[in-house]
Amino acid sequence: MKSRAELAELLRSHGLKCTRSREAVLGYLESACQPADAERIYAELRAMGIAVNLSTVYRTLESLCGVGLAKKVVLENEGRALFEFCDSAHRHYLVCICCKKIIPITFCPLGEYEQQLEQRTGYEITGHKLDVYGYCPQCKKISRA
C-alpha cells in the first residue's frame, strides 16, 4: 500500500503527469488483491468518494499499461479485460471457473519448451500466455454437495 506521494513519484518517474484520476487508479491497482476490470475500478473509486469518469478510467489504464505501470489480462470466457498493478514479473493465472477467483503464479515451466518450439518451427518466440482453469477449494466442495 503506497502513499500518495509514492504514487505521484511512480507516475512522474514513468513520464506521466500526476493527476487525481491516475493517482486513484494506480493506487487502487497497487492495493488490489487480484486483477479488476475497468467498470469495477470505476465503481470502487466512486464508492471511495473519488469521482472519476469511466472514459478516464479506460484512458488511464491504457496510459499505465503503456508505460509499464499496469498490465492488461485477458481471460477466456471473460467479456471484459482485467488490469493489475505491474511489477514486471512474468506470471500465469490459476482461475476458478466457478467464482472467478484468480491466483497469480510466478513459476513458469516453459523455458525449454519455447526453445524446442523455436528449433522445430523456425519462429522467433517473444512470449507466451498460460492460464490454468479449475475449481478453487471452496467451489470444489460446493460442486460436490
Partner DNA sequence: CTTTAAATGAGAATCATTTGCATTTGCATT
Partner DNA sequence: AATGCAAATGCAAATGATTCTCATTTAAAG
Under the rule (CB under 5 A), what is the footprint of Zn ion? Answer: 96, 98-99, 101, 108, 110, 136, 139
Of 48, 54, 103, 142, the one binding a second copy (CB under 8 A) is 103
CA dihedral 99, 100, 101, 107 (to 10 degrees): 140
Instruction: Compute CA distances 114 → 86, 105, 106, whole Å.
Output: 24, 19, 17
Q: Which of DNA, a second copy, Zn ion, none is residue 80 near (CB under 5 to 8 Å by kind)? A: DNA
Of 9, 31, 51, 133, the one binding DNA (CB under 7 A) is 51
* Closest CB 89 distance from a second copy, rounded Å: 17
62 contacts DNA (rule: CB under 7 A): yes
CB atoms within 10 A of CB 116: 10
Q: Pattern 88-127, binding to DNA, x per CB under 7 A?
A: ----------------------------------------
CA–CA gap between residue 86 and residue 39 (Å, rounded): 19
DSSP-based three-state secondary structure for 82: strand
CA–CA gap between residue 71 and residue 86 (Å, rounded): 5
Q: Are 7 and 24 in contact (CB under 8 A)?
A: no
Q: Whose Cβ is closer to a second copy: residue 18's or residue 94's?
A: 94
Summarize as ranges the residues that interact with a second copy (CB under 8 A).
74, 76, 94, 96-97, 103, 105, 109-110, 112-114, 117-118, 121-137, 140
